[in-house]
Amino acid sequence: MKTTLNLAALAIIGLTFGLSANAQKTVITKAALPVNAQTFLKTHFTGQEPTYILQDKETFSTDYKVQFANNMEVEFDGKGNWEEVDGNHQPIPVTVLPKGIANYVKTNFAGATVTKIDKGTWGYEVDLSNGIELEFNSRGNFLRIDN
């Protein structure tokens, strides 16, 4: 019985490493991005050309990462929907923010700028230039300050 469990565990570990070994990162052009991602970049990063764009293909998913000369980064899922905009301590375009989040930050943290926004399944995490991290639900309603 113990031998059977050990063999099963080894098979699972081997399968896991085998699947992750299939990951491929490739530099691509802006034209190779999904249309949603191209539209997002055109709308919020007008006049800025990416320094590089990576396509990260895994066994069951594909992601994209776009980086600009000012070190700002945007990550997209396989359909071209944005998942994260990271200014790397610089303000990100306000137009990226959902209106409720932009209004909340403007009203309650005047003088602070958003330097990163991460969109998850259940909501948004927002980093401000003053070091405060905020959490919002998927509708853009404020939940709490994240410690």
Q: What is the CATH number of the domain that holds 91?
A: 3.40.1420.30
121 lies in some domain: yes
49 lies in some domain: yes
Report the pLDDT value the prediction gives residue 21, as an integer from 0 to 100.
Answer: 55
CA distances to 46, 56, 73, 82 from 93, rounded to whole Å, are 10, 25, 12, 14
Which residues of the chain fall below pLDDT 50? Answer: 2, 4-11, 13-20
* Residue 67 contacts residue 94 (beta carbons within 8 Å): no
Report the pLDDT value the prediction gives residue 3, as an integer from 0 to 100.
Answer: 52
Q: What is the 3-state secondary structure (H, E, C) of 81-140?
A: CEEEEECCCCCCCHHHCCHHHHHHHHHHCCCCCEEEEEECCCEEEEEECCCCEEEEECCC
76 lies in some domain: yes
4 lies in some domain: no
In tens, the pLDDT along 52-61 reads 999 999 989 9
User: How many domains does the structure of the chain reveal?
Assistant: 1
Domain that holds residue 94: 24-146
**What's this model's pTM, rounded to 2 decimal places?**
0.82
